[in-house]
Structure 1
Amino acid sequence: MSPHALLEETLGLEPTDLAKFAVSRNAFLPEENLPKMLSDSYYEPWELVAHNLPELTEAGRIRDAIRQLPMLSTDRLQSEAEWRRAYVILSFFANAYIWGGDIPEQILPPTLTVPFLRISAHLELPPTLTYAGANLWNFHCEGDDFADVEKLSTLLSFTGTESESWFLLISVAMEAKAASIIPTMTRAIEAIKTHDYQVIIKALEELSTHIEEVGILLERMHERCDPMTFYHQIRPFLAGTMNMEAAGLPKGVFYDEGDGRGEWRKLRGGSNGQSSLIMFWDIVLGIEHKGHSESKRSFHEEMRDYMPGPHARFLVHVARLGSIRQLALDLEDSEGEAEQRLRKAYTVATETLTKFRQKHLGIVTRYILIPSKQPWTGSTRKNLASSSLEKKGEHLTGTGGSQLIPFLKQTKDETRFAGMLMDSKP
């Protein structure tokens, strides 16, 4: 049975409904490779700048190049894949324009803003560089196995460095590992209604293996991504415009639409917290992440606003199917073998995810915390990375705008707590 048919059967959806969720045979990645160029020569001005983005940025000419772009319409984009390609191009342009000089630029020109707003609205994404733009839609694969990182290459890059490509592509390969686990876990949640414990147990065991495999990919980051290069040359371009007062954006960025129209916006930057895969893990395991107050949305909930609309709706759909964690809690007093195996499988899965999040903390320590304290003789910019030098350690800010280390530690602790199968937090 094809992955599409399997997923349709699992979700109980018609093909049109599946398309609405944009869940492909590669999970949250596209069905096939995205185009390397927009097909209509009308868009050559965009493609020319995109092709030369690293060189233009290095030479300090990127802002001039973007200002000189003609006002192009989105009417000639010929497929959803081309809309995605256009989003990738303009989101890279926006961040390169903001962070591509000695000081941040506070105003995006209309020739960038107007088409970017239209494309973002079409894809149900904010007009900024998101995880979708930097990772999900920014790669090409030589072959059809998107989980083989050796066969992947980036389509757009700020720096043209191997470190940047490897950093982005490791996440692509990690996402591709979700292809089989999504139908498996949604089937398990639906099995709650029929009390088919064997299906749930097997799915949880597969989930643990799946998370371990994704963790192995994450640990390959060091192979071709240099920490100092990442921190000082790559990470600055991934920053958003929210909580960037210290970096020189007290009001965020003004999206100039021309003729006196426009809006100041403060938006988060690209972050792995915007990965639908990782949030899918949390949802199927019933892991709750709290905000700073009962009335405030958590960072995790807010990150759904930075996912493609269909993906965010898919997560809502899955969350409504049922709760494996609640089932495990309800089985606490049961002495049946299957019931106890289910509770054990659930605990192991949450422990595995806790270990994954510990690995993520290790990556953050190696690529952000340690480099922030070491001298750097190369060029850098006054932005998220360099402004964080004043904060040090625990107060470093993530590209998504959160307090990085405390946020990741809290997320890990909430995952560990869920596996303890207690009714509420102490």
Structure 2
Amino acid sequence: MRHLPALVEDGIRTAVKHLRILSADRLLSEAEWRRAYVILGFMSNAYIWGGDAPEEVLPPQITVPFLEVSKHLQIPPVLTYAAANLWNFTCTGEDFSDLSQLDTIHTFTGTESESWFLLVSVAMEAKAGGIIPRMMGALEAVKRRDYEVIVTALEELKTCIDGVSALLERMYEKCDPMTFYYDIRPFLAGSKNMESAGLPRGVFYDEGDGKGEWRQLLGGSNGQSSLIQFFDIVLGVEHVTTGNKTGSKGERSYHDVVRDYMPGPHSRFLTHVSRMGSIRELALLPAATEEQLRLRHAFTCATEALSRFRDKHIQIVARYIILPSRQANKGGRYNLASSSSEKSQHELTGTGGTTLVPFLKQSRDETRATGEIKDEVHDG
């Protein structure tokens, strides 16, 4: 792992095949299990994508411990957002939202652009973590119609989301678009919906002795952030987008599917919050009093902040994916970036396997529509 960037360029597959199959028996603390997951996630994606053509078979040296570790952490055996971002950083101080104090543990390329790309998400998560108990309190306050608590929480949520958006905009500071698109992004891809990138059947997880199975798993993406889904849930934003053009009625939305790619406790927490209802249910009631109007206004402002955040995400995608995709590949391995650049911008594929631009725009529009509530005062 210390030499991963060099091995990715020349020899990662040979190096992995010389490893012995390790057992997870000595892993004790959750930190150790997560560390193993990060290492195996990076090694698996480096092995699959670190060549002139993608590798369809993941060897037992990675597969056997990866399956064991993933089962313990209740998360799929692939490089998820948790592996690349949440569990892959160090901090020289105590403020995880301060980018100057953060550093990555592992990257594929060893570049500043890759570290910065991963760490911006870490800072965003840390910036907003404190709002979670406040919004849980607001959901409880919905039951007892405590408007003061709810309005205050919504105002804090808006400020919080604006702060997260400001951090997202800092991506431009130290992450070069061409480096991201052609050198970094390909390694974040999964094996689902990756036919055009060279994995028509996904990846075969070889457990040795004739055992194993083909798996098609999504790649790591910010869509797997539990935080952003938390914002959606408390505000009552409903997503119906499947993320691809083959969606059929009754199919799970992409936002629902990616919960399977979150750490087990995170996914269960979101399920718990979903059962509590949302603030929108109260905001939709006829506004008969001044406090109800204040609630609607605060609610609308919060949803608008989340919509602006998604607008900024689309702008990031335009700069880091759409524009580079129109420029010629610098050469090298055939991968997600190569295959995406051969399509129109409306068919660009995200690392999570979605049809990127339409998916992001519809998610934004669904967020915007949630806050569109008419302010009308009805005489009692």
User: TM-score w.r.t. structure 2 length?
Assistant: 0.96
Give the corresponding residue for 1:416: 368
Distance in 1 between the 2:154 and 2:134 partners?
9
Distance in 1 between the 2:333 and 2:352 partners?
18
Identity percentage of aligned residues:
64
**Aligned AA for 2:8?**
T
**Aligned AA for 2:48?**
I
Distance in 1 between the 2:249 and 2:129 partners?
35
**Aligned AA for 2:61?**
T
**Quick check: 2:82–2:263 contact (8 Å CA) kept in 1?**
yes
Distance in 1 between the 2:74 and 2:28 partners?
18
Give the corresponding residue for 2:343: 391
Distance in 2 between the 1:354 and 1:53 partners?
38
Distance in 1 between the 2:248 and 2:292 partners?
35
Q: Offset at 1:385?
A: 1.1
**Quick check: 1:103–1:382 contact (8 Å CA) kept in 2?**
yes
Distance in 1 between the 2:363 and 2:129 partners?
24
Confirm whether residue 100 of structure 1 aligns to residue 55 of structure 2.
no
Distance in 1 between the 2:327 and 2:336 partners?
16
Distance in 1 between the 2:61 and 2:328 partners?
39
Confirm whether residue 320 of structure 1 aligns to residue 271 of structure 2.
no
**SS of the residue aligned with 2:109?**
coil
Deviations 1:296-343 (A, max 9, x none): 00000001000000000000111111221111112x2x3211011001
Confirm whether residue 266 of structure 1 aligns to residue 221 of structure 2.
no
Q: Offset at 1:162?
A: 0.2
Give the corresponding residue for 1:84: 34
1:259-338 equivalent positions in 2, closer than 5 A: 259-290=209-240, 291=242, 292-330=247-285, 332=286, 334-338=287-291
Confirm whether residue 205 of structure 1 aligns to residue 155 of structure 2.
yes
Moved more, 408-417 or 315-324: 315-324
Confirm whether residue 68 of structure 1 aligns to residue 14 of structure 2.
no
Deviations 1:158-181 (A, max 9, x none): 000000000000000000012210
Give the corresponding residue for 1:164: 114
Give the corresponding residue for 1:15: none
**Quick check: 2:135–2:153 contact (8 Å CA) kept in 1?**
yes
Distance in 1 between the 2:202 and 2:60 partners?
17
Q: Offset at 1:142?
A: 0.4
Confirm whether residue 57 of structure 1 aligns to residue 12 of structure 2.
no
Distance in 2 between the 1:181 and 1:57 partners?
39
Give the corresponding residue for 1:185: 135
Confirm whether residue 362 of structure 1 aligns to residue 312 of structure 2.
no
**Aligned AA for 2:154?**
L
Structure 2: runs of 5 or more not aligned: 375-380
Distance in 1 between the 2:332 and 2:347 partners?
20
Q: Offset at 1:73?
A: 0.6
**Quick check: 1:325–1:421 contact (8 Å CA) kept in 2?**
no
**SS of the residue aligned with 2:142?**
coil
Distance in 2 between the 1:381 and 1:400 partners?
20
**Quick check: 1:190–1:322 contact (8 Å CA) kept in 2?**
no
Give the corresponding residue for 1:21: none
**SS of the residue aligned with 1:74?**
coil
Distance in 2 between the 1:420 and 1:108 partners?
48
Deviations 1:33-89 (A, max 9, x none): xxxxxxxxxxxxxxxxx111001112x200111111111110111210010000000
Structure 1: runs of 5 or more not aligned: 1-49
Q: Offset at 1:294?
A: 3.2
Rate the CA distance shift 1:275–1:339 in 2: closer, same or farther, 3 A: same
Distance in 1 between the 2:332 and 2:116 partners?
20
**Quick check: 1:102–1:381 contact (8 Å CA) kept in 2?**
yes
Deviations 1:128-164 (A, max 9, x none): 0000000000000001110011110000110000000
Rate the CA distance shift 1:200–1:380 in 2: closer, same or farther, 3 A: farther
The RMSD of aligned alpha carbons is 1.0
Distance in 2 between the 1:240 and 1:307 partners?
15
Q: Offset at 1:247?
A: 1.2
Confirm whether residue 145 of structure 1 aligns to residue 95 of structure 2.
yes
Give the corresponding residue for 1:346: 299
Distance in 1 between the 2:293 and 2:61 partners?
61
Q: Offset at 1:415?
A: 0.2
**Aligned AA for 1:353?**
L
1:404 is matched with which residue: 345, 356, 361? 356
**Aligned AA for 1:398?**
G
